[in-house]
Structure formats: structure tokens, C-alpha cells
Structure 1
Amino acid sequence: MDLLANLSLFVRIVEKGGLAAAGRDFGYSPASVSERVSALEDHYGARLLNRTTRAISLTDEGRLLLDGARQLVGEASDLQSQIRHGVDHLSGLIRISATFDLGRNRLAPILDQFMEMHPAIRIDLVLSDGYVDIVAQGIDLAVRYGTLTDSSLMRRRLGPSYRLACASPEYLARYGTPETPADLANHNCLVMRFGNQLDQEWPFVIDGKRKMIPVRGNKSANDGSLIRQWVLGGYGIGMKAHWDIENDVREGRIIPVLTDFSPPESDLQIVYPAGSNQPKRVRCLIEVLSAAFANGVMPQCPSNPQH
């Protein structure tokens, strides 16, 4: 049995959520995939996957193997790259998760430059404004807003993040500028949807206390970049992270409102799975992202990047 090949297949099965999809990536028939999974289970003496006709799920033993398998496969890929191309050569796939606006407007240009410096790198950018289980989906790193609540993940702070109520000059000229959060009741508010939940209460600081103000409007979406486009189009007032609208504000396309009542800052951060040795290509990208967000400079990858 080719243990490393079967471990690679096992990781892909989890990432793809199914045996057939993983098999297509490797050019294996469904029967061959099943045989290889069975061979792994025989090798470790434990059931790794619970399989039904519609879905798969990891057993406790499978979760334990997944972390180790990813590390082994990543190290083998790095070693092969170093032998073929030298120790400073970076190659292989990096899977990244980010919100829509942040991914398109901030990360994509940085990733383009990173790939120009390291042509053998491949990027899979997974955009979502909802919750993403980065471990279950095989994500190497995610760039996210807010406080880290999952204690099994590591974090690298990129900088502060502010949420701002904002609108276009055209909208404010037509409907007026709200003076207090209570005035939002008389405005069309563009609302984000996270899963089945509408973000219909916006945070503000009033008389020194954080309060949630009800808002409503005629447009909602689960895509933050669409909310931004609606704000730019003059359709209403949105609540956006300053990273997403910084250039629009600088160039006068969007105007922050109610800034005296803005909630306290939170964090923009990189999060990544703990307890595993990240491949050099991932460690390098973490360093590059940190430097780019800190000062807007795209650095060369450090020769020996650390966590």
C-alpha cells in the first residue's frame, strides 16, 4: 500500500465532502477509492469515515488522522519541492478563506503579487461572509473580522477594524444625513444576512454604552460586496468594515455617518489550524499578508518565516 498516496486521498475526501469527487481529482474509480479507504482503515485498525449514500463524516479516529495526514502530505510536498528546485523554492496549493469584499479588494492583489514572486504556488481563494469551518474544509488560513472564539485555532492580528454606517453623497443629498442612531428608523438600511439571520440590529455607543439599534430596509444580501455596491449606488445606508470602504471614503464615493456613535474597534486577523507544522509556503504567505496589511508594502518572502 502507498500510504502517503492514500493519506493524500483521505485528506481530499474530507475537503471535497465525498469519495467520488475526491476520486475524480486523483483519477481513481469509485471502487478504487473505497478500496484505498478500506486499506487505510485496515492499516490503522480503526474506522475513519462514517459513510452513507448522501454524506460522509469523520469518526474520532478520522479527525485525529486528518491533522497528522495534512502535516505529512504538506511536508512531503515541501521536501519534494526543495529537492527538485532548491530550498528557497515555494510550490504547492494554499487554500485561503476570506469575506467577499476583503477577498476581492484587499487579498486578491496581494495574492497576485505573491504568485508572481513564486510561480509554482497555486491559490484556492474561498469567499464567504458566513461561518467557515476551516479545519473540516481543509483551509490553510482564513482572514476574518472579530474576536477569535474557537480555542483550537491560532491567530495573527493584522490590525484594528472599525464598523461604520455609511452612504453615498447622492443618497445623503436626497434623504438627509442621520444625526443620531435613532434617525436610522427614517432611512433605508441595507442589511447583511448571515445564514438565516438578518443583521437587523446595528451596534452603536450611546451615552457611553453599547446599544443595538433596530434597522430595516428594502434590500438584504449575504454578500458584503453587494451591500457595498448598493451603498455606492445610492440605495441606502450600510454598515461596513472600514477596510472594505477605505478607498471609497478617500475618494469621496462613500461618506461615513454617525461616526460619533461608532462601536469600539475589533480585530482583523489571520486564523489557522493549531497543532500542526504549517508548510513553508503557508508560513511565508502569513508573513507577507502581515507586512502588507501593516504598512501597505509587499515584501519579499523571508528566507525562514516563523509563526
Structure 2
Amino acid sequence: MQKLETQLGTRLFLRTTRSTTLTREGELFYRNCHPGVERIVQALEDMRDLREGPPRGQLRISATVGFGRRIVAPLLNGFRARYPDIAVDLLLDDRTTDFSADRVDVAFRNGRMEDSQVIARQLIPMPLLVCSSPAYRRAHGLPRQVEDLAAHRCINLRTASGRIFEWEFKIGARIQKFLPSSTSTFNDEELVLQAVLDGQGIAQMAGYQISGHLRAGRLMACLAQYAPDDRGHYLCYLSRQQLPARIRVFIDFMTAGIRALDLGLVSTLSLPADKASPIAAVSMA
């Protein structure tokens, strides 16, 4: 207090051996400071409630367009019913999330995680399978080896960056990428899927897109013995420390909900009896 009085250049307290009381200047200083101190105390209590109290507040989520629309958005109904005090803001964007610039709390990412700046929890594997419709198979057959793709009508996906997505296969112990010649290219995963369902050609797609169609017989998978096994769907956030309750319950809810959807598929497919033949280099361009 003596240091504060020195900084202010005035006496705030009248001190005796028996009591301490405010001066007139001290009373004025207290009245001016009191609202600010109350706001600071309230802010500290609010932060403690967000950390330890019932889950509430604003939750900003980012996901890729396809996965967000097909998987994340349907699960949000159950999440909101369980946690009505949490307001959800879902952003669908195929570009990599910038947590700071976009003010995102949690992001869903697909593929391989190479960003060491975020915490990434793998929800499920992300199989990539080449699929066709039954009508296409009857008319054209299906490739049995990767090099057979050159003789088929392939449908490609253009990514958010503008490049064509390269098909991936695990040949031996290595992941190899191929860019097939295409009859059609789309910059939307749903359009690629619809073209395959319509019998226009074959495409390599993620398990979450095709699981229901495979089980219903609307699609057929091939080259499953070459499906890459190093991709996944991840739930990402910036830190494990001091997570607000709204983020903790969202992570737990989505992890359980997505894992219950059984989107893995590769283990349920019957693979051809013939083994993979060595493929040193295949040009599909």
C-alpha cells in the first residue's frame, strides 16, 4: 500500500496503532477501482466454471466438406440434445485449418498427420478403396492388378488446392501414388461418388463415403489387397492442458460416436485369392 501511495502521490489510509481508515482520497480511489476489481473477480470465476463447471459456451468446429457433411453434422443433433448449453459453429472447408486465424476449438482432419503443432487423436482408419457400380462391372469388368487401371474409365477428384488427387496403393511395404487418365474430373467428392453410382467409371474413395453403398450392394470394391493402411480420420486441437469442459465433452462424444459407425470396411472385404504381383513402376498419366 505504501508503494501505491507513493505512485499516486497521495495518502490513501489514515493509520494509527489501533485502526486503519480510508482518507477522502482513499475513498474516491476505492469507488473508482471497485467495479473493475469486481469484473476481474467475475472473469476469473467464469473461467473456472468453463473449466470445471457444466459444459457451456461457444464451440467452433472445422471439418472437411465431405466428412463434415456426411459424418460430423448428423452426430451434432445428439450432441446438442445432451449439451443444450453449448452453441455449435461448424465450418466446412477442405483447406487445412488455421486454429488461430479461424478461432477454431476442434478440427477434423483426414489423411496423414504431419503437423506437430497440434494434438491429433485418431478416430478411425481411413481406407481408400477403388469402387465401381454393378452395372459398370457387368459392362467392363474390374481391375485385378494396379496396372489394369490403364484400361478402365477412371474418375478423378480435384482437391481444394487445385491439384488432382493421386490414387494410392500399398505395394509390398511401400505406398505408391498413381495418377490415372480420367474420363471425368470433379472438385466435389459427392459428384465423384454419384458418377460411380451411375456407372460412369471407377474411382478411389474413402471408406466413410462408400460404406453404406458397399453393404447395400450399390457399389463393389476392387484392388482391396492394395488398399493403403497409413491414413486416418483425426480429431485435432491445440493443447491437452486446461481444456474447457465444452471441448472435453465434444471430443469424448465424437470419438465414441464416430467409432460406433463401423466405417473401417477393409477387414470385412473378401480379398481375391491371387496375391499382389510386383509392380516396380506403372505410368497412368
Aligned to 2:119, what secondary structure does the other structure show?
strand
Give the Cα–Cα distance (whole angstroms) in 2 for the partners of residues 80 and 215 of structure 1.
51
Residue matched to 2:103: 138
Give the Cα–Cα distance (whole angstroms) in 1 for the partners of residues 111 and 185 of structure 2.
21
Contact 2:51 2:243 in 1 (8 A): no
Contact 1:178 1:184 in 2 (8 A): yes
Q: Equivalent of 1:264, from 199, 206, 229?
A: 229
Contact 2:155 2:183 in 1 (8 A): yes
Q: Equivalent of 1:197, from 163, 173, 183?
A: 163
CA shift for structure 1 position 214: 2.7
Instruction: List gaps (5 residues or longer) in structure 2.
Output: 1-42, 263-285
| CA gap 1:248/1:123 in 2 versus in 1, 3 angstroms | same
| CA gap 1:116/1:275 in 2 versus in 1, 3 angstroms | closer
Structure possessing the higher relative contact order (Cα contacts under 8 Å, 6 or more residues apart): 2
- TM (normalized to structure 2)? 0.69
Residue matched to 2:7: none
Give the Cα–Cα distance (whole angstroms) in 1 for the partners of residues 187 and 48 of structure 2.
37
% identity of equivalent residues: 32
Alignment of 1:8-157 (within 5 A): 76=46, 79=49, 87-88=53-54, 90-157=55-122
Q: Does 1:179 align with 2:132?
A: no
Aligned to 1:112, what secondary structure does the other structure show?
helix
Residue matched to 1:235: 200
Give the Cα–Cα distance (whole angstroms) in 2 for the partners of residues 242 and 80 of structure 1.
36
| CA gap 1:281/1:110 in 2 versus in 1, 3 angstroms | same
CA shift for structure 1 position 94: 1.5
| Cα offsets for 1:193-212 (capped at 9, x unmatched) | 2212112x312133554322
Give the Cα–Cα distance (whole angstroms) in 1 for the partners of residues 50 and 237 of structure 2.
24
After the TM superposition, list the runs of 4 or more consecutive aligned residues in structure 1 that deviate by more than 6 angstroms.
Answer: none
Give the Cα–Cα distance (whole angstroms) in 2 for the partners of residues 74 and 207 of structure 1.
57
- TM (normalized to structure 1)? 0.64
Q: Look at both structures and tell me which one has the larger radius of gyration over its CA atoms.
A: 2
Corresponding pairs, count: 219
Aligned to 1:93, what secondary structure does the other structure show?
strand
Contact 1:160 1:266 in 2 (8 A): yes
CA shift for structure 1 position 286: 0.2
Q: Does 1:215 align with 2:189?
A: no
| Cα offsets for 1:285-307 (capped at 9, x unmatched) | 0001111123349xxxxxxxxxx
Residue matched to 2:124: 159
Considering only aligned residues, what root-mean-square deviation do their CA atoms show, in Å?
2.6
Aligned to 2:169, what secondary structure does the other structure show?
strand
Residue matched to 1:246: 211
Matching residue's letter, 1:101 = G
| CA gap 1:184/1:231 in 2 versus in 1, 3 angstroms | same
Contact 2:112 2:230 in 1 (8 A): no
Matching residue's letter, 2:222 = V
Residue matched to 1:24: none
